[in-house]
């Protein structure tokens, strides 16, 4: 039994025969087919004989007579008798393949073809191994009665012809030969598998973005880049896009109009949905045509992870279900920053997606996307004093704006403070200034920012002002106030980079500074009134962004500052901002108590470098007016000025009616 085990181990043909009968130990076979550099830990060679027996076998095989192939045909019938119970199915297909005509032709083809493939991948000893395999049956017949040897020889003949007749053999032969060649591969096998594993890793990393990894990471992992399926969608709608549904139009509708449209679409549970959820459902149902493609846009807010969302100014840049997702690759491709206004074609959410996705960018800040890369950042633009005046005079009966033009002229790029006590009419003055700016200047984009105000004032401002009104009422948290303010100022900066003129009316900067003081981490240095030393840095940066850009656009900010509120913090905030502006308009409580409107304190109000805004002749008459009103009490001076202005149609007529040296 020991000799039979040794011969079975040494003979690869016998090992193949045993594998067909018992496929379980298939991984142990073919010792001579494996290169001699196999690691000792692998159980590929289980040699039971002594080294001397192996040397004797090799010597006997070298000295064996030439007609070794004839012994194969004779040994075949002997092998039928003993292994019949073990392998009854093998002798039948092997007998017709052993007649005399095919035998002389079988050794010839395998000899040149078998050594050739392993040579580039095998070491030098391998080409010499097939010779002992063909001549091993002679000594094996003497030691182990020839049974495993004869069967192994028949299998070896089949394996030699296998590359030529592999398609006809079928069964497991092709798989065994593939595994056999794979084992002979050595280092090539490991290199091939390492390359395939690296390719699989790269493919998995490319597709990793399409997985949904939870609610917290929905923005980064929920959407993939819009490069594959979106191209087919764009080809279908390359014609006119005027008939596409516009998301921005739906966002301007009120709740009553949205409810009526939802009922027409037979939506269920309309009464239980909020405005944003109802709008999202209308878009989802109404997008059956055009493959869910529609028009949309908004102001982008870039997150720390690289992706971003397009916020709508109609919702005051609050996160809502109809926000539009933009992938990090799109943001890098177009060099987008927070505050850029992006308009394009969007698609509806797919499976496991929560937001609309940008399909094709059509414009950025009103310009073609290609122009965005050539823009100079706002921080690198050169600021300059305001040189172009913003006329606020609009009608004869608008006394507030006419007097502001006389007392504190406003220019493009002005940084002005409206210092007012409570209930002095600052909100009404802001409304009149906003309406005058939009009426007299068509090229100015107006934004009214209301921080910590009452909801009814927000509604009134939206109905009275023809411009963008962004608000965060007093019932919102402080971080919401800060987020709204930063979105507004970043949007204004992006517009100025494109050469446009923007005006921001802020009410009020005192409450904005309070919000920053609440959310900023305390540094341990507390000023008077409980104001942290680092809390006022960001609101100062907001207010300091107002400037006139040389040979470009401008950013004008007129902000209200609260005084006489009884709070020491408000006084400290006003003192910090007092010297930062280049225009101040003071409202007086004594004038309000006597019901004199506008309640403007002429002596304390003024504009820096007003000679750059006003014509010299006009400026001379304005200075004469100030000298005439300087020695008169505030209430009497304001009443006198209001009466004089009412009698004239415009300010030019009023100034011409004055005489230099006239004191009344």
Position 233 scores a pLDDT of 54
Position 502 scores a pLDDT of 95
Give the mean pLDDT of 26-40: 48
CA atoms of 178 and 207, how far apart (whole Å): 31
CA distances from 649 to 96, 395, 592 (A): 122, 8, 25
Position 287 scores a pLDDT of 66
CA atoms of 546 and 608, how far apart (whole Å): 14
Show the beta-strand stretches assigned E in 488-607: 501-507, 547-549, 554-562, 583-586, 606-607
pLDDT, tens only, 492-513: 999 999 999 999 999 989 999 9
**Is residue 256 over pLDDT 50?**
yes
Using the Cα atoms of residue 185, residue 190, residue 193 and residue 198 in order, give the sign of their dihedral: negative
Average pLDDT of the chain?
A: 73
* Rg (the chain; Cα; Å): 45
Per CATH, the homologous superfamily of domain 244-375 is Nucleic acid-binding proteins (2.40.50.140)
DSSP reduced 3-state for 452: strand
CA dihedral 547→462→586→493, nearest 10 degrees, is -10
Using the Cα atoms of residue 646, residue 652, residue 656 and residue 661 in order, give the sign of their dihedral: positive
Position 130 scores a pLDDT of 47
Percent share of the chain, pLDDT over 70: 62
At 153, list the tokens. 């020889």
Position 293 scores a pLDDT of 82
CA neighbor of 155 nearest in space, from 180, 168, 174, 173: 173
**Is residue 662 over pLDDT 60?**
no
DSSP reduced 3-state for 349: coil
CA dihedral 394→397→401→404, nearest 10 degrees, is 130
Q: How many CA atoms lie within 13 A of 72 on its CB side?
A: 28
Show the beta-strand stretches assigned E in 500-609: 501-507, 547-549, 554-562, 583-586, 606-607
CA 610 to chain centre: 47
Position 248 scores a pLDDT of 80
CA atoms of 544 and 536, how far apart (whole Å): 12
Position 490 scores a pLDDT of 94
Kindly report the three-state secondary structure assignment for every residue of 21-38.
Answer: HCCCCHHHCCCCCCCCCC
* Highest-pLDDT range among 160-169, 210-219, 307-316: 307-316
Give the mean pLDDT of 270-289: 76
pLDDT, tens only, 116-157: 444 444 444 444 444 444 444 444 444 444 444 444 444 444
Q: What is the pTM of this model?
A: 0.64
pLDDT, tens only, 423-476: 888 999 999 999 999 999 989 999 999 999 999 999 999 999 988 999 999 999
pLDDT, tens only, 175-210: 444 444 444 444 444 444 444 444 444 444 444 433
Helical spans, DSSP H, in 161-300: 166-169, 173-184, 187-206, 218-221, 229-236, 247-251, 255-264, 275-285
DSSP reduced 3-state for 550: coil
At 114, list the tokens. 């078998």
CA atoms of 417 and 542, how far apart (whole Å): 13
CA atoms of 548 and 569, how far apart (whole Å): 31
Position 349 scores a pLDDT of 82
CATH code at 383-657: 3.40.50.300
**Is residue 10 over pLDDT 60?**
no
Among 61-65, 377-381, 469-473, whose mean pLDDT is lowest?
61-65
Provide the greatest CA pair distance for the chain.
Answer: 143
Instruction: Give me the residue label for tokens 């800060």.
Output: 482
Q: Could you state, in order of their start, the residue ranges of all structural domains in the chain?
A: 244-375, 383-657
Query: Who's near 233: CB < 8 A, 6+ residues apart?
Result: 291, 293, 347, 359
Residue 384 burial (C-beta neighbours within 10 Å; 0-12, 13-18, 19+): middle
Give the mean pLDDT of 626-650: 90
**Is residue 96 over pLDDT 70?**
no
Specify whether the CB–CB gap between 650 and 613 falls below 8 A.
no
CA atoms of 619 and 335, how far apart (whole Å): 46
Give the mean pLDDT of 316-329: 88
End-to-end CA distance of the chain: 136
CA neighbor of 83 nearest in space, from 22, 172, 143: 22
CA atoms of 98 and 67, how far apart (whole Å): 15
More confident residue, 176 or 250: 250
More confident residue, 350 or 388: 388
pLDDT, tens only, 324-371: 999 999 999 999 999 999 999 988 888 788 888 898 899 999 889 988
Position 182 scores a pLDDT of 42
Give the mean pLDDT of 92-104: 44
% helix, strand, coil for the chain, step of 5: 50, 15, 40
């Amino acid at each position: 039994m020991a000799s039979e085990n040794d011969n079975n181990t040494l003979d690869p043909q016998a090992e193949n025969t045993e594998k067909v009968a018992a496929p379980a130990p298939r991984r142990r076979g073919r010792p001579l087919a494996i290169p001699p550099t196999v690691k000792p830990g692998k159980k590929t060679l289980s040699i039971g004989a002594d080294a001397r027996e192996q040397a004797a076998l090799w010597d006997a095989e070298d000295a064996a007579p030439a007609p070794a192939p004839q012994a194969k045909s004779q040994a075949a019938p002997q092998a039928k008798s003993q292994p019949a119970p073990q392998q009854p199915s093998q002798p039948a297909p092997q007998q017709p393949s052993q007649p005399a005509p095919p035998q002389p032709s079988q050794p010839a083809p395998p000899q040149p073809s078998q050594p050739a493939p392993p040579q580039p991948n095998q070491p030098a000893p391998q080409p010499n191994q097939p010779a002992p395999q063909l001549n091993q049956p002679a000594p094996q017949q003497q030691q182990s009665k020839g049974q495993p040897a004869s069967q192994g020889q028949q299998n070896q003949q089949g394996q030699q012809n296998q590359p030529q007749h592999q398609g006809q053999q079928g069964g497991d032969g092709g798989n065994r030969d593939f595994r056999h060649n794979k084992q002979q591969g050595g280092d090539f096998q490991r290199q091939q598998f390492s390359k395939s594993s690296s390719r699989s890793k790269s493919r998995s990393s490319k597709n990793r973005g399409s997985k949904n990894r939870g609610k917290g990471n929905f923005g980064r992992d929920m959407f993939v880049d819009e490069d594959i399926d979106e191209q087919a969608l764009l080809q279908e709608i390359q014609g006119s896009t005027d008939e596409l549904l516009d998301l921005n139009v739906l966002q301007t509708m009120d709740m009553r109009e949205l409810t009526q449209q939802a009922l027409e679409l037979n939506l269920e549970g309309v009464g239980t949905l909020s405005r944003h959820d109802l709008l999202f459902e209308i878009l989802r149902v109404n997008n059956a045509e055009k493959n869910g493609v529609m028009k949309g846009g908004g102001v982008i807010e870039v997150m720390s992870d690289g992706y971003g969302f397009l916020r709508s100014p109609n919702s005051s840049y609050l996160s809502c279900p109809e926000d539009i997702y933009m992938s990090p690759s799109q943001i890098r491709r177009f060099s987008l920053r927070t505050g850029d206004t992006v308009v394009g074609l969007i698609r509806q959410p797919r499976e496991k997606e929560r937001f609309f996705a940008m399909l094709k960018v059509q414009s950025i800040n009103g310009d073609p996307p290609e122009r965005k890369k050539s823009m100079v950042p706002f921080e690198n633009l050169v600021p300059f004093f305001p040189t172009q005046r913003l006329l606020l005079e609009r009608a004869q009966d608008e006394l507030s704006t006419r007097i502001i033009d006389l007392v504190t002229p406003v220019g493009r790029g002005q940084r002005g403070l409206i210092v007012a006590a409570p209930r002095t009419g600052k909100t009404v003055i802001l409304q009149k200034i906003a309406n005058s700016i939009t009426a007299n200047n068509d090229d100015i984009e107006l934004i009214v920012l209301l921080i910590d105000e009452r909801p009814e004032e927000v509604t009134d401002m939206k109905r009275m002002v023809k411009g963008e009104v962004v608000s965060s009422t007093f019932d919102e948290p402080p971080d919401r106030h800060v987020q709204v303010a930063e979105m507004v100022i970043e949007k204004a900066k992006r517009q100025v980079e494109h050469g446009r003129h923007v005006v921001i009316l802020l009410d009020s900067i005192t409450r904005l500074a309070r919000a920053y003081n609440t959310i900023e981490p305390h540094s341990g240095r507390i000023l008077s009134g409980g104001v942290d030393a680092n809390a006022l840095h960001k609101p100062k940066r907001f207010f300091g962004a107002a400037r006139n850009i040389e040979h470009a656009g401008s950013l004008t900010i007129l902000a209200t500052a609260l005084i006489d509120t009884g709070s020491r913090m408000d006084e400290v905030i006003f003192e910090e901002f007092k010297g930062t502006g280049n225009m101040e308009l003071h409202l007086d409580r004594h004038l309000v108590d006597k019901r004199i409107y506008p309640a403007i304190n002429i002596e304390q109000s003024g504009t820096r470098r007003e000679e750059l805004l006003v014509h010299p002749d006009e400026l001379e008459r304005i200075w004469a007016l100030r000298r005439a009103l300087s020695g008169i009490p505030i209430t009497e001076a304001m009443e006198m000025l209001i009466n004089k202005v009412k009698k004239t149609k415009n300010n030019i007529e009023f100034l011409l009616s004055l005489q230099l040296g006239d004191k009344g």
